[in-house]
Amino acid sequence: MEDINKIKKLSIWIFFVPFIAINVCLILITNFHQLFNLEHVVLPTIPYIDGGVSISRTARVFPTYLIFKPAMFITAFFLIKYWRFNSGLMGKISPYPNYKKFFLFFGIGSAIFLVLHSIFLGIKFDNNFYKLFRRVLVLAFIIFEIIAQTILVINFFKIKEQMKQFINSRILYFKIILVSILVVVAFVSIPFLAAEGYNSFKHALEWNYFVGVISFYLLTFFFWKKQ
């Protein structure tokens, strides 16, 4: 199926474009201080482990936002196409058309929130409502993305017998485990995210959680057998 080949190609880009972008921003801001006009220098750190810096801290200043913002716009564009192709594919093989409408809605919604977050990132406006608004955009992106991924995985699990000649069932179970972990971690982390402090924990969670979310698409690449 042509849709499957398109989905495979999109999925690998959706993983690598944002993954490379956030890590390039991290390397630049922690090792090339002469490029930045910062009040406080960001020391070398491995935020996935020590939570030394947040993603937004590395990406919201010049020149890193010149990398981060275009990468997120490109990722959002690929996300919209990815969810549309999955919706079309599901419509061809599934007798439950409402399901494809649900994950299409949340998938495209997550892309829109990613674009909005990227647009407002780095804009300085000393207002508590504005700061809350930016946090809501990030939270909405995560919620919509996880819901879309969950619905899609559930539907593929229901029709896995129909699709066994096209899919790798083992990878499907890996995707189920990944989405389950993301959901559980999200609920367990709520008290810490709502509380004051725990900054290092929050930063480490942010980096690892984002990689976890986009890893869904890396698994998608291996999920579909070569056509």
Nearest to 4 by CA among 166, 121, 136: 166
Structure tokens at 185: 């971690």
* Under 8 Å between Cβ of 41 and 29: no
Note the pLDDT of residue 13. Answer: 97
Note the pLDDT of residue 98. Answer: 59
Distance CA 117, CA 122 (A): 10
Q: Which amino acid is at 18?
A: P
CA distances to 18, 141, 157 from 79, rounded to whole Å, are: 12, 12, 21
Note the pLDDT of residue 158. Answer: 85
Distance CA 178, CA 122 (A): 31
Note the pLDDT of residue 159. Answer: 84
Structure tokens at 52: 């030394």
Distance CA 28, CA 35 (A): 8
pLDDT lower than 70: segments of the chain: 1, 39-40, 94-100, 125-128, 130, 227
Helical (H) or strand (E) element with 53: none
Domains of the chain by residue range? 2-223
Distance CA 32, CA 214 (A): 27
Note the pLDDT of residue 125. Answer: 63
Note the pLDDT of residue 146. Answer: 95
